[in-house]
């Protein structure tokens, strides 16, 4: 029987519909490497094992694809936990990652720590760090029994593990649990209307608020985003006003982002908006109201009319590129 590191940390990796590792993989393996030895679990995606190793997984357990959604991943994780006896299990805080983590925790009666923005360890085990109530409080969570199962907010972990040239790739034997699972009846490919990065997990985000004033003027947000190679986000007020679709909404009832750079244009900084972006590494705010709460959390702020400031910023970025 293979030996596994005493400080093993299992990491569930997901694949995109195009068959690549999702962007969260690097951060998950990076997080695992901060607290132990990462062991990746791939479900039905053996060809991605070397990609996982390139991100720092020295051991990759490959489970069969199985039937239905998520249940094969939970079955695989449950088998991997039995095999490896890890100190923690990490999944992305994605739709599949959250479901897999919740189901695994229920099955194993383990503690679940959701939406962590960091991990560390002390003498008693792995600790999850959370940013809650709109980033107003930092909370550390640990479990009192067994290995914690932790979902990690996409984009929140900067640490990266060193690439592994010769990974150990093993087939994980999984006894299907036969639990009920949703199945995919049909797949209709959504037309991709944008070449911009996806908001969730983007390294740079430019968001616009009510201050943009109209759908037409919201184009300024897109111009700055394109000049920076950033994803586009919005406040709920901008969504409610119909400037952009609801999928752009950042915040408590929208997408949570943790990019390297977040630029807020004409956004006041309501607590519900901050809840979704406060863990960004660098926050830049442009607002004509110097008392807007967004400036309380901004690393850099410009008090001014965005219609004056942003075109100059775009022109400067484009000039730099030439």
CB of 79 to ligand FAD, least distance (A): 38
Instruction: Confirm or reject binding of residue 70 to ligand FAD (CB under 6 A).
Output: no
The one among 238, 280, 283, 313 contacting ligand FAD by CB under 6 A:
238
Instruction: Confirm or reject binding of residue 273 to ligand FAD (CB under 6 A).
Output: yes
The region of 27-35, 101-109, 118-126, 207-215 touching ligand FAD under the rule CB under 6 A is: 207-215
Instruction: Confirm or reject binding of residue 249 to ligand FAD (CB under 6 A).
Output: yes
CB of 214 to ligand FAD, least distance (A): 11
SS3 label, residue 34: helix
Instruction: Confirm or reject binding of residue 292 to ligand FAD (CB under 6 A).
Output: yes
In angstroms, the CA 29 to CA 12 distance is 9
Residue ranges in the chain assigned as alpha helix (H): 24-35, 49-54, 71-84, 95-108, 219-228, 236-240, 271-274, 294-297, 306-321
Among candidate residues 290, 154, 269, the one with its CA nearest the CA of residue 207: 269
In angstroms, the CA 57 to CA 166 distance is 10
Cβ-proximal residues to 180 (8 Å cutoff; 6+ apart), any chain: 68, 71
Among candidate residues 109, 99, 144, the one with its CA nearest the CA of residue 126: 144
Which lies closer to ligand FAD via its Cβ, residue 45 or residue 292? Answer: 292
Instruction: Confirm or reject binding of residue 115 to ligand FAD (CB under 6 A).
Output: no
Instruction: Confirm or reject binding of residue 287 to ligand FAD (CB under 6 A).
Output: yes
Residues that bind ligand FAD (CB under 6 A): 209-211, 235-238, 249-254, 266-268, 270, 272-273, 276, 286-289, 292, 305-307
């Amino acid at each position: 029987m293979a030996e596994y590191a005493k400080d093993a940390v299992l990491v569930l990796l997901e694949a995109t519909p195009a068959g690549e590792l999702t962007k969260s993989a690097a951060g998950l393996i990076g997080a695992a490497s901060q607290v132990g030895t990462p062991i990746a679990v791939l479900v039905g995606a053996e060809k991605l094992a070397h990609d996982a190793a390139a991100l720092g997984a020295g051991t990759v357990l490959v489970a069969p694809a199985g039937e239905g959604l998520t249940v094969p991943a939970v079955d695989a994780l449950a088998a991997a936990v039995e095999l490896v006896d890890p100190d923690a299990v990490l999944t992305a805080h994605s739709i599949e990652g959250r479901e897999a983590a919740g189901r695994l925790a229920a099955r194993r009666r383990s503690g679940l720590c959701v939406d962590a923005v960091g991990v560390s360890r002390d003498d008693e085990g792995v600790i999850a760090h959370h940013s809650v109530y709109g980033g107003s409080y930092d909370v550390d969570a640990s479990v009192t029994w067994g290995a914690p199962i932790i979902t990690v907010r996409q984009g929140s972990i900067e640490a990266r593990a060193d690439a592994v040239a010769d990974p150990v790739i093993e087939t994980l034997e999984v006894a299907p649990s036969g639990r009920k699972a949703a199945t995919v009846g049909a797949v209709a490919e959504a037309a991709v209307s944008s070449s911009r990065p996806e908001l969730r997990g983007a390294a740079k985000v430019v968001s616009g608020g009510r201050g943009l004033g109209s759908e037409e003027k919201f184009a300024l947000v897109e111009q700055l985003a394109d000049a920076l190679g950033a994803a586009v986000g919005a406040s709920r007020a901008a969504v409610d006003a119909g400037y952009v679709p609801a999928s752009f909404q950042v915040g408590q009832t929208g997408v949570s982002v943790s990019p390297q750079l977040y630029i807020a244009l004409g956004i006041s900084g309501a607590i519900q908006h901050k809840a979704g972006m406060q863990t960004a590494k660098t926050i830049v705010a442009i607002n004509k109201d110097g008392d807007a709460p967004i400036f309380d959390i901004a690393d850099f702020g410009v008090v001014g009319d965005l219609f004056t400031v942003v075109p100059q910023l775009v022109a400067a970025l484009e000039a730099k590129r030439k």
